[in-house]
Structure 1
Amino acid sequence: MKRRALFIFSLLQIVWLAGCTEKSFTPIEREKSFVASLNIQEPSLDFIDEKGEVMANWLFEKAYSGAVLIGADHVLLYGNQLSSIDLYDLTTGQKRFTKKVDIGTTNVCYSEATHQFFIANSKTNTVTSFDEEGNELASQQLGNYPMSMAATKDKLYVINYKDTKLSVLNMDDLAVEQEWPITKSSHGIAIIEETNELWIGGHGEGSKPNSTVKRYDLLSGEQLGVIEMPLMPIGLMKADDEILVVSHGRNELYVADFSGTVKWHLQVGANPFVVNKFKDLIVVAGYDDHTLYFIKDGKVQKAVDVGKGSFQLLVREE
């Protein structure tokens, strides 16, 4: 009887330990460059090299809606309906920590300069800062539905999506230094330090969809001009001496110089939300056709199938 009890106890210990073991994923070697597609219809990350070959596929059980690289070796995953964020080590494929947060995360922005990340929340209408270990540093109440964010030097720029203002925060303590008037439903942001400008795209509202990108003075918030773009330009990315803009209303990629002159454009993807630069290639993610398009010199060089609902692109170049 005693032996049987010991056997059952040992078996229960094994089951308990197995249940407590965190799932790990395929490690990504430190020296490997990649573009990673976060897919949100079936939550997953596809890691793809410069040849367009899939290096690894991480399948998740949580409904992640966003991801951001924290430095070169970690990826932070979050979800609008999740009450926690998870940080994974890319070189081991293992979870480093889980941090409890309020439900409503819309975006996370990482600052290389300060080694902090910032969480925007649409339920509490706040932005909260954390160090790389997940320790909370400061929090600030903002406008309605903070979402798009960009960081430069000691400033954090936050678009309040369901409001008519952009908030400029000091990254040290998140004090609000300025508020600029902007169009409601603005979305997508790019900072051009060379010209001291900030560009903003947007969906538009109701029966008035947006088809422009607006240019603002980075210091004063004065609107400097408007660039005609295709319907709903929401994905903006500064790459070298160009600004890349994708429109999910017209399935188009536009490439403009810093003066706002469109150099070329290309119809690509089905319902693209995001664009990025990887090596000498422009990468556009098609949300509805679950495909990444690798573009060079205005032409698609390769199309790579990824998981359903490609929504974000993470780039690491070594």
Structure 2
Amino acid sequence: MKKWVFFIFSLLQIVWLAGCTEKSYEPIERDQEFIASFNIQEPSLDFIDEDGNTLATWVFDQAYSGAVLLGDDRILLYGHQIGAIDVYTISTGEKRYSKKVAIGTTNVYYDDSIQQFFIANSKNNTVTSFDQEGNALATQQIGNYPMSMTSYKDKLYIVNFKDTKLSVLNMKNLMIEQEWPIQKSSHGIAVLEETHELWIGGHGEGSSPNRTVKKYDLTTGKQHGEIEMPLMPVGLKKTNDTVFVVSHGHNILYAADFAGTIKWQQEVGANPFVVEQFKDYIVVAGYDDHTLHFIKDGQQDKTVDVGKGAFQLLVREEK
């Protein structure tokens, strides 16, 4: 009888320990530069180097819908239908911590200057600030379905996707400082310090898809004009002298100067949502072709196959 009890107890210990063991992933050295494709159809992360080689692939068993880098060696994973965020250390591949959050996370934005991240939530229409260890600092009620976010100096700019206003918040306390009128279903955002403007793209609604990127004054929110970039320009990336925009309705990558003049354009990818700069390349993620397209000097240089549904790009480079 004692032997049987001991066997059952030992078996329970093994089951308990197995359940408590966190899954870890292939680590990536801290000095390794990469561009990572977050893929949402079958949630995974592909880490790619400058030569197009896959450094590692992290495959998840959670229905994550997004990821963001927290500094140089942490990555935060979130899901719209998941009531928690998970933060992993890239150089070890191990989970650092998990924190409960409200269901409905649409986006997470990290500001390196203050080392805080911000979670937009579509269920309760809030944005919440956190320190790097996941401790909540402040929460603010804003417009309907907050999603795209960026920051400039001490301001946090949030596009409310299902609303007709953009919220401007003080990053330290999340107090609302301004609300600007914008087009409903706006998405994609970039700050142009050189022209003191905020550029915003969007999907449009129903039978009236959006065809333009709109330019707003960073201080007043007054619209300065718009740039024709059909169809549904939703991904924006500002570099030293160019703003790159992907329009997923026509699978087009546009390159515009800061005045809004289009310098060149080309068809790239299948249903692209995002564009990023990595080293000497402009990289576009094709959602439907599951491919990263590396553009150099206005021409496609190479392609890299990634997981299904490439939806976000995360870049780590030496500063």
Provide TM-score, normalisation by structure 2: 0.98
User: Does 1:107 find its partner at 2:90?
Assistant: no
Give SS of 1:172's match. coil
Amino acid at match of 1:225: G
Give the structure 1 partner of residue 304 of structure 2: 304
Give the gaps of 5 or more residues in structure 2: none
Displacement of 1:85: 0.7
Amino acid at match of 1:96: R
Give the structure 2 partner of residue 160 of structure 1: 160
Whole-Å Cα distance in 2 between the matches of residues 109 and 220 of structure 1?
A: 23
Q: Deviations over 1:80-114 (max 9, x none)?
A: 11111110100110111111111111101000111
User: Does 1:75 find its partner at 2:88?
Assistant: no
Give the structure 2 partner of residue 281 of structure 1: 281
Q: Deviations over 1:153-202 (max 9, x none)?
A: 11000001111100000001100000001111111000011221100000
Give SS of 2:244's match. strand
Runs of 4+ residues deviating >4 angstroms = none
Where in structure 2 are the equivalents of 1:111-150 lying within 5 Å?
Answer: 111-150=111-150
Give the structure 2 partner of residue 183 of structure 1: 183
Displacement of 1:15: 2.1
Amino acid at match of 2:231: L
Amino acid at match of 1:170: N
Whole-Å Cα distance in 2 between the matches of residues 175 and 125 of structure 1?
A: 15
Give the structure 2 partner of residue 256 of structure 1: 256
Amino acid at match of 1:141: Q
Whole-Å Cα distance in 1 between the matches of residues 206 and 10 of structure 2?
A: 62
Give the structure 2 partner of residue 230 of structure 1: 230
Amino acid at match of 1:10: S
Q: Deviations over 1:97-136 (max 9, x none)?
A: 1111111111010001111100001110000000000000
Identity of paired residues, percent? 71
User: Does 1:173 find its partner at 2:173?
Assistant: yes
Whole-Å Cα distance in 1 between the matches of residues 115 and 194 of structure 2?
A: 23
Amino acid at match of 2:315: V
Give the structure 1 partner of residue 5 of structure 2: 5
Give the structure 2 partner of residue 26 of structure 1: 26
Whole-Å Cα distance in 2 between the matches of residues 33 and 56 of structure 1?
A: 12
Give the gaps of 5 or more residues in structure 1: none
Give the structure 1 partner of residue 53 of structure 2: 53
Provide TM-score, normalisation by structure 1: 0.99
Whole-Å Cα distance in 2 between the matches of residues 118 and 69 of structure 1?
A: 12
Aligned length: 318
User: Does 1:63 find its partner at 2:66?
Assistant: no
Amino acid at match of 1:182: I
Give the structure 2 partner of residue 84 of structure 1: 84
Whole-Å Cα distance in 2 between the matches of residues 146 and 311 of structure 1?
A: 18
Larger deviation, residues 207-216 vs 3-12 = 3-12
Give SS of 2:38's match. strand
Displacement of 1:206: 1.5
Amino acid at match of 2:130: F
Q: Deviations over 1:259-299 (max 9, x none)?
A: 11111111000000000000010000000010000110111
Whole-Å Cα distance in 2 between the matches of residues 206 and 152 of structure 1?
A: 32
Give SS of 1:98's match. strand
Give the CA RMSD over aligned residues: 0.8
Whole-Å Cα distance in 2 between the matches of residues 298 and 288 of structure 1?
A: 22
Whole-Å Cα distance in 2 between the matches of residues 81 and 193 of structure 1?
A: 35
Whole-Å Cα distance in 2 between the matches of residues 6 and 236 of structure 1?
A: 62
Whole-Å Cα distance in 1 between the matches of residues 238 and 97 of structure 2?
A: 31
Give the structure 1 partner of residue 195 of structure 2: 195
Whole-Å Cα distance in 2 between the matches of residues 19 and 143 of structure 1?
A: 40
Give SS of 2:139's match. strand
Displacement of 1:49: 0.3
